[in-house]
Structure 1
Amino acid sequence: MSYRALYRVWRPQRFEDLVGQEHVTKTLMNALREQHLSHAYLFHGPRGTGKTSAAKILAKAVNCEHGPAPEPCNECEACRRITEGAIMDVVEIDAASNRGVDEIRDLRDKVKFAPTEVRYKVYIIDEVHMLTTEAFNALLKTLEEPPPHVIFILATTEPHKLPPTIISRCQRFSFRRFSFEQIVSRMKFICESMGIPYENGALLAIARAADGGMRDALSLLDQVLAFSGERLDEQAVIQVTGAAPKEIMFRILKDLEQENPASALKRLEEAIASGMEPEKLIQDLIHTCRDMLLYLTAPDLDEISYFAADPHASDLAKRLGSDRISEMMDQLIHYQQQIKWVAHPRILLEMAFVRLSARRKKQELAEVPAVEKLEQRMKQLEAMLERLKNAPPEPVPKGNRESGKGADAGEKSRSQAASVPLGGNWAEQLSDASFAQIKKVWPELLHRVKKEKITVHAWLINGDPVAATRDTVILAFKSKIHREAIEKESNRELIETILSQMTGTAYRLKPVMLADWKAMKAHVKNAPEGEQASALEVPQDEDVVRKAIALFGEDVVKIIK
């Protein structure tokens, strides 16, 4: 007898052998026990999870000479012949190659005939999503109301491609991927049953490569046994699958952790020279990072048990830390998505290694602009503080000081004091050169403020620069709301920063009301020559008097001259 593949030899023949799909097998066994059979079933799930095996077991269970029973006996003639595929009433159809409407019409014509050898006609349609739209339409009516002696079992890996009218006429069963432990346990059972010595590392490597598919795991096990002879070791699995040895992965990650791109690129060259593909290498790097992350967060998992036995691997995981490993995984996954679209995958992988090993330098470069910005801001604050120390008090209009209107006069005095643009001899401080510079850069300033924060620009365009000193710009507003918005610290600092960058001078803004500005200019212009200085200058004790009136009230404070 010719050799048979392991996945065929060890195909489950009973529901209890179908491990990992208990939610499916228990429902089907209860339905068989209570004789609640449906006319159509839909089995869907990833490849190699037991859909076709479950369909054949169900076909045997309904046609068993001792049934329908929860489990086929696998001893009667019907069970044995269905297992061998020798009964014409159990029909397997590959929808990938029989997807046209003519094949489905032929099936529909044969359905009405009664079975000749067993109890039920069972049609197993594999990869049913490959049928054409016309074929689905031809199948629809038969699937909805088939003869009582017919059972349809549809199997697919892509149920979303089936029309809703087909899905609604079937009982749906979702097959899940096998867990890592289930695949390893099944392969251990097979190796022990066949008397094959094995290494646990080899079984773990096969289970990782199978990615949840039992058939993939058994096919790979069959291939490794053919390569290595009568012993299953991890090195043979690595050579057959084309995976990188763990030692190479750990050395590359160690080089990246130590920010040594030269060594990492050298190991990359060695790996590619040994026949490894860049796509496979980056995939193995991602899996290794994933194992290290699991080791740090859930060290008891069987899948990563080799970390505990390898002190170098565990030390590397602890040195990197979960944050750094997560960051490396993010970047490697990004490059894995890009690598399939480039003509030279090796170049992309080399670029990834260089960038992953330059993390500290990148952080230092990112910190430099922040430090420079902070130093510039500190200089501006120091200059502003020095100006505040040396600036004389703001002038108080004389009429407010001499009016005897109590609290109302005090409020008026405070309001007018707030509107005065500068203290001391402000008229003498005005600079035509500074004002000309401000007027020149003002349109560009508005443009930059709009790019930084459009709401500040909306307030600022309602004010006009009316004068400037060597370090102050006076803005006049018609609306009090606009002036107050610009006076807010965050808004004013934004404008002052941009203005300082454009002019090279640490200017500060002084928002005022346009009416107050005109009144101040007129007051100075109309004063006699000998009184203009007194109108512009206010003794320092005037400020003390004003503050006392504001604090205690006009009735309490008595001014003695």
Structure 2
Amino acid sequence: MAVEIPFAIKYRPKKLADVIGQPVVVQAFTNAFKNNTMHHAYILSGNYGTGKTSVSRIIAAMENCEKGPTLEPCCECNNCKLIFEGKSFDVKEIDAASNRGIEDIRALNKEIHHCPIECRTKYIILDEAHSLTGIAAEAALNMVEEPPDYVRFILATTEAHLLKDTIRSRCITWKFNKVNWTEIFSHLKNICAKEELEYDDNALKIIAKSAKGSVRDSLQNLQTVLNYVGNEKILVNPVKEALGEVDQQLYFNLIDAIFRSDAPQCYIIINNIFKSGKEAGAVVRDLYGHLNNLLLAKTCKKNLPDFNFTEDEIKKYVHQSNKINGDYILKMVSLLKDVSLGLKFNLDPDFLFNTFFIECIVANKKSGK
């Protein structure tokens, strides 16, 4: 049986125009390339799965395509193929998390002084660059500061603030944002059309939202769902089952139960959420998100469509927010912090959430709301 190509690889962008959700980065590199003002060192910072490595490869291919330099790599020449496969001798992709020592950097420093063999420009793509040790980071600074004319550095990181200030001052930094779920949703629809997959729009929306701004995770989620449903149509319930997603209505029910001072119902709901396989940390994040949405509904009622809520979501959040005082929502957010802190110390999730419910109910009674 042949191994299927993962969607995250199959649909990885190979042109800047195909990069999703990063218009500033795309425009910056497009203009720099057109005007021949490419810098010798860049920091690409942002969440995982937002396109840092893909953009790094695209830039390297733009400069080294055999039919270029060109804004649109041909993806057919030997240079392009090797670059996009991560196998080019002249475009090195190095994981700094596992090659973080001083000896690794010294070896790399020697290597960059050898001219490229097949490419015009040698690229050093250093992933998880913030992982470099102290001495190695100092050595990397000297290497990045004055590289040979034919070398360009790209430092990819999820935590740019951990990079040495002296390294950041030598590089141009571009921030990769989490991709809006609506853009991911459109991307998933295009992929489903290419793969001739039947789907329900609401099911794809769940897949898009559960990716938390990561295009790569959305593609992994889609493939996970396909493994679960087989040749059947992609529907809401199978998606929730495959991804372990909790029905958002449960969080509405949970807040309503707290507001009614119905502790037993709170226990039942949270127990059902845990039974569905949802981890306590994920429940805390979901509750934070729900309370944040209630605050948005409370303060920005007329602008909710700008926050990409569906019509049904707007009705539900506005209806629930109208019943609850804004100060009380903030109080619940504050109490939820104790749950989050307790989880970091491995305290029992059931105890933490049950305490949270009681404290919220007591606070509600004291407020007289």
Taking structure 1 as the reference length, the TM-score comes to: 0.60
Assess, with a 3 A threshold, how the Cα gap between structure 1 residues 215 and 252 changes in structure 2: closer, same or farther.
Answer: same
Distance in 1 (alpha carbons) for counterparts of 2:88 and 2:271: 57
Residue in structure 2 matched with residue 39 of structure 1 by the alignment: 40
The reply on whether 1:305 has 2:310 as its aligned counterpart is yes
Distance in 2 (alpha carbons) for counterparts of 1:264 and 1:152: 53
Assess, with a 3 A threshold, how the Cα gap between structure 1 residues 292 and 238 changes in structure 2: closer, same or farther.
Answer: farther
Distance in 2 (alpha carbons) for counterparts of 1:28 and 1:300: 32
* Aligned residue pair count: 364
Deviation, structure 1 residue 114: 1.6
Residue in structure 1 matched with residue 165 of structure 2 by the alignment: 164
Aligned partner letter, 1:190: I
Distance in 1 (alpha carbons) for counterparts of 2:28 and 2:282: 40
Residues 257 and 357 in structure 1, CA contact (< 8 A), matched pair in contact too: yes
Residues 42 and 155 in structure 1, CA contact (< 8 A), matched pair in contact too: yes
Distance in 2 (alpha carbons) for counterparts of 1:163 and 1:253: 44
Distance in 2 (alpha carbons) for counterparts of 1:221 and 1:140: 41
| Higher RCO (CA < 8 A, seq sep 6+) | 2
Distance in 1 (alpha carbons) for counterparts of 2:305 and 2:77: 46
Deviation, structure 1 residue 286: 3.0
What SS does the aligned partner of 1:154 have? strand
Distance in 2 (alpha carbons) for counterparts of 1:331 and 1:29: 47
Residue in structure 1 matched with residue 268 of structure 2 by the alignment: 266
Distance in 1 (alpha carbons) for counterparts of 2:317 and 2:24: 38
What SS does the aligned partner of 1:319 have? coil
What SS does the aligned partner of 1:65 have? coil
- Deviation string 1:260-294 (CA, Å, 9 cap, x unpaired) is 22222233334334444443334333333333443
| Superposition pairs of residues 45-194 of structure 1, within 5 angstroms | 45-194=46-195
Assess, with a 3 A threshold, how the Cα gap between structure 1 residues 229 and 289 changes in structure 2: closer, same or farther.
Answer: farther
Assess, with a 3 A threshold, how the Cα gap between structure 1 residues 195 and 216 changes in structure 2: closer, same or farther.
Answer: same
Distance in 2 (alpha carbons) for counterparts of 1:70 and 1:349: 53
Residue in structure 1 matched with residue 17 of structure 2 by the alignment: 16
Aligned partner (choices 338, 345, 358) of residue 341 of structure 1? 345
What SS does the aligned partner of 2:50 have? coil
Distance in 2 (alpha carbons) for counterparts of 1:55 and 1:159: 16
Aligned partner letter, 1:335: V
| Superposition pairs of residues 481-496 of structure 1, within 5 angstroms | none
Q: What percentage of residue pairs aligned between the two structures are identical?
A: 33
| Superposition pairs of residues 527-546 of structure 1, within 5 angstroms | none
Aligned partner letter, 2:14: Q
Distance in 2 (alpha carbons) for counterparts of 1:62 and 1:214: 25
Residue in structure 2 matched with residue 418 of structure 1 by the alignment: none
Residues 66 and 77 in structure 2, CA contact (< 8 A), matched pair in contact too: yes
Residues 201 and 234 in structure 1, CA contact (< 8 A), matched pair in contact too: yes
Distance in 2 (alpha carbons) for counterparts of 1:129 and 1:148: 25
Residues 96 and 132 in structure 2, CA contact (< 8 A), matched pair in contact too: yes
Distance in 1 (alpha carbons) for counterparts of 2:183 and 2:276: 33
- Deviation string 1:173-203 (CA, Å, 9 cap, x unpaired) is 2222212322222222222222222233333
Aligned partner letter, 1:263: Q
Assess, with a 3 A threshold, how the Cα gap between structure 1 residues 103 and 301 changes in structure 2: closer, same or farther.
Answer: same
Residue in structure 2 matched with residue 290 of structure 1 by the alignment: 292
Residues 90 and 118 in structure 2, CA contact (< 8 A), matched pair in contact too: yes
Aligned partner letter, 1:337: L
What stretches of structure 1 of length at least 5 have no aligned partner? 367-561
Residue in structure 1 matched with residue 336 of structure 2 by the alignment: 332
What SS does the aligned partner of 2:324 have? helix
Distance in 1 (alpha carbons) for counterparts of 2:365 and 2:46: 47
Residue in structure 2 matched with residue 279 of structure 1 by the alignment: 281
Distance in 1 (alpha carbons) for counterparts of 2:164 and 2:182: 36
What SS does the aligned partner of 1:93 have? strand
Assess, with a 3 A threshold, how the Cα gap between structure 1 residues 39 and 344 changes in structure 2: closer, same or farther.
Answer: same
Assess, with a 3 A threshold, how the Cα gap between structure 1 residues 80 and 22 changes in structure 2: closer, same or farther.
Answer: same
Distance in 2 (alpha carbons) for counterparts of 1:260 and 1:349: 14
Assess, with a 3 A threshold, how the Cα gap between structure 1 residues 354 and 56 changes in structure 2: closer, same or farther.
Answer: same
Deviation, structure 1 residue 9: 1.1
Deviation, structure 1 residue 312: 6.5
Assess, with a 3 A threshold, how the Cα gap between structure 1 residues 2 and 360 changes in structure 2: closer, same or farther.
Answer: closer
Aligned partner (choices 229, 237, 240) of residue 239 of structure 2? 237
Aligned partner letter, 1:89: D
Residue in structure 2 matched with residue 222 of structure 1 by the alignment: 223
Residues 307 and 314 in structure 1, CA contact (< 8 A), matched pair in contact too: no
Distance in 2 (alpha carbons) for counterparts of 1:235 and 1:38: 49
Residue in structure 2 matched with residue 499 of structure 1 by the alignment: none
Assess, with a 3 A threshold, how the Cα gap between structure 1 residues 188 and 293 changes in structure 2: closer, same or farther.
Answer: farther
Distance in 2 (alpha carbons) for counterparts of 1:114 and 1:143: 16
Aligned partner letter, 1:268: I
What stretches of structure 2 of length at least 5 have no aligned partner? none
Deviation, structure 1 residue 313: 6.4
Assess, with a 3 A threshold, how the Cα gap between structure 1 residues 361 and 59 changes in structure 2: closer, same or farther.
Answer: closer
Deviation, structure 1 residue 133: 2.1
What SS does the aligned partner of 1:320 have? coil
Deviation, structure 1 residue 99: 0.9
Distance in 1 (alpha carbons) for counterparts of 2:147 and 2:36: 18
Residue in structure 1 matched with residue 365 of structure 2 by the alignment: 361
- Deviation string 1:509-540 (CA, Å, 9 cap, x unpaired) is xxxxxxxxxxxxxxxxxxxxxxxxxxxxxxxx
What SS does the aligned partner of 2:304 have? coil
Aligned partner letter, 1:177: K
**What's the C-alpha RMSD, in Å, of the aligned pairs?**
2.6
Distance in 2 (alpha carbons) for counterparts of 1:291 and 1:307: 13
Deviation, structure 1 residue 3: 1.5
Assess, with a 3 A threshold, how the Cα gap between structure 1 residues 354 and 124 changes in structure 2: closer, same or farther.
Answer: same
Distance in 2 (alpha carbons) for counterparts of 1:271 and 1:37: 51
Distance in 1 (alpha carbons) for counterparts of 2:296 and 2:60: 42
Distance in 1 (alpha carbons) for counterparts of 2:316 and 2:91: 56
What SS does the aligned partner of 1:42 have? strand
Taking structure 2 as the reference length, the TM-score comes to: 0.88
Aligned partner (choices 222, 229, 254) of residue 256 of structure 2? 254
Assess, with a 3 A threshold, how the Cα gap between structure 1 residues 198 and 105 changes in structure 2: closer, same or farther.
Answer: same
- Deviation string 1:204-231 (CA, Å, 9 cap, x unpaired) is 3333322222222222222222222243
Higher alpha-carbon deviation: 194-203 or 267-276: 267-276
- Deviation string 1:450-478 (CA, Å, 9 cap, x unpaired) is xxxxxxxxxxxxxxxxxxxxxxxxxxxxx
